[in-house]
Homo-oligomer: A and B are copies of this chain.
Amino acid sequence: MTPVASNLQIDSARLWDTIHETAKFGATPKGGVRRLTLGPEDKQVRDWFRKACEAAGLEVHVDGLGSMFGLRKGRDMSKPPVGLGSHLDTQPTGGKFDGVLGTLAALEVVRTLNDAGIETEAPICIVNWTNEEGSRFAPAMMASAAYVGDFTTDDILSRRDAEGVTVAEALDSIGYRGDSPVGTQKFTSFVELHIEQGPILEAENKTIGVVDSGQGVLWYDGQIIGFESHAGSTPMPLRRDALATLSEIVLAMESIAKKHGPKAVGTIGEAVIANPSRNVIPGEIAFTIDCRSADAAIMDALDKDLRAAVAEIAAQRKVEVKLNLVWRKPPTHFDPRLVDAVENAAQALGYSHRRITSGAGHDACNLNTVMPAAMVFVPCKDGISHNELEDATQADCTAGANVLMHTVLALAGVAS
């Protein structure tokens, strides 16, 4: 790294301004953002992003699933670029930082390099991945999943939202079905900056999370079939109460996750009683489980313990409990060389830092299956995300963007 590069800092005020400027596209009354993928607000932010990329001298192209790529030439154009970026879509009641920070920080890196007249050895390419959130179309992280070959482009194009609109129709309606076949924009490596979406960095007062792993995920769909009966006239010993059954499952999941902790979490986030009534014992409940660990052996243990607990509870309460594993994503282990590069950048810049596991899934987790990838985390207030209250400080966002820039410079090299 040249001296000029090692002293380089991004323009904090400009980064902060772009975050707030784009937050207008889908702004909510409570200060959050509602920018569902491929909707009119997403078109607005995409148009803004394309223009900003072009103004920064980038060559923009869009792939067949709408992911946007802005290429900055390097000295050696025989090398594939180093990729950096994230996503610009949000949750239905999302915040200003989730995804946005990583995409706009990538733009800010380009602008800073431009201002400083720095040419990199390898080219760099900033990316806005389509539909990371998965709120409108399933699955989440759909475009990066197709990029790495987990789904075909045609499969993803045919997915429908709740109104029956396909991804293809949505792309066409906003003019973002691009010409580049999905997966043809190659990278030597990919780095994604993101807010932590958890409370650890803030609690430990660290500025930078050097993300070395991502949790594997087990998703289950569950159903309890007890017996609906009158709350007044059914004696306690004769009940087959679906909600009491669920309650034991919730507490079992909690204690199993704690037993395998700290590298395990387990959550029941959805539970719907069929035909609920104040004076009727719940007879049927549908629920979902989300269970995670960064350790594959712990994931196996979570699954085994959960199934055993559910079977025991069902037998004791004389109810039927169905538990179907609907998704199993193995843990992500980010590329050690890239993780070191992130850590070195944080260290060289003098930021407090720690290694951290990503609790959430990210496009970088998908990309890591086909190329070296890594992530940089910065704290978010109270660990809150997917919420209009989501917040992060300008100083932390700036630090994250600086770490992103110096990691990318280390990977791409600075032309001497």
Contact = CB atoms under 8 A, between A and B. Distances in A.
Given A243-B271, A269-B279, A277-B270, A236 B219 contact: no
Given A230-B197, A270-B277, A261 B235 contact: yes
A198 B234 contact: yes
Given A229-B384, A230-B360, A265-B231, A247 B251 contact: yes
A265 B236 contact: yes
B360 A233 contact: yes
Interface in A268-282: 268-273, 275-282
Contact of A278 (B199, B219, B228): B219
A215 B248 CA distance: 28
Interface string A247-271: 1101100100110011011111111
Contacts of A233: 196-199, 358-360, 383, 385
Contacts of A235: 198-200, 261-262, 265
29 contacts: A197-B230, A197-B233, A198-B229, A198-B230, A199-B238, A229-B384, A229-B385, A230-B360, A232-B265, A232-B292, A232-B358, A232-B361, A233-B358, A233-B359, A233-B383, A234-B383, A235-B262, A236-B254, A236-B258, A236-B266, A243-B268, A244-B250, A244-B251, A247-B250, A251-B251, A269-B276, A270-B276, A279-B360, A280-B386
A270 B265 contact: no
Contacts of A271: 243, 271, 273, 276
Interface of A: 93, 196-200, 203, 215, 217, 219, 228-238, 241, 243-244, 246-248, 250-251, 254, 257-258, 261-262, 264-273, 275-282, 288, 290, 292, 358-361, 383-387
A324 to B, nearest CB: 13
Complex copy number for this chain:
2
A290 B279 CA distance: 6
A267 B279 contact: yes
Given A247-B251, A272-B276, 8 more contacts: A199-B235, A219-B278, A229-B385, A232-B360, A247-B250, A268-B282, A269-B279, A279-B360
The listed residue with most B CB atoms (<10 A of its CB), out of A233, A236, A272, A277, is: A233
Contacts of A244: 250-251, 254
Nearest to A249: B247
A236 B272 CA distance: 23
Contacts of A231: 265, 267, 269, 290, 292
A359 B230 CA distance: 8
A276 B285 CA distance: 14
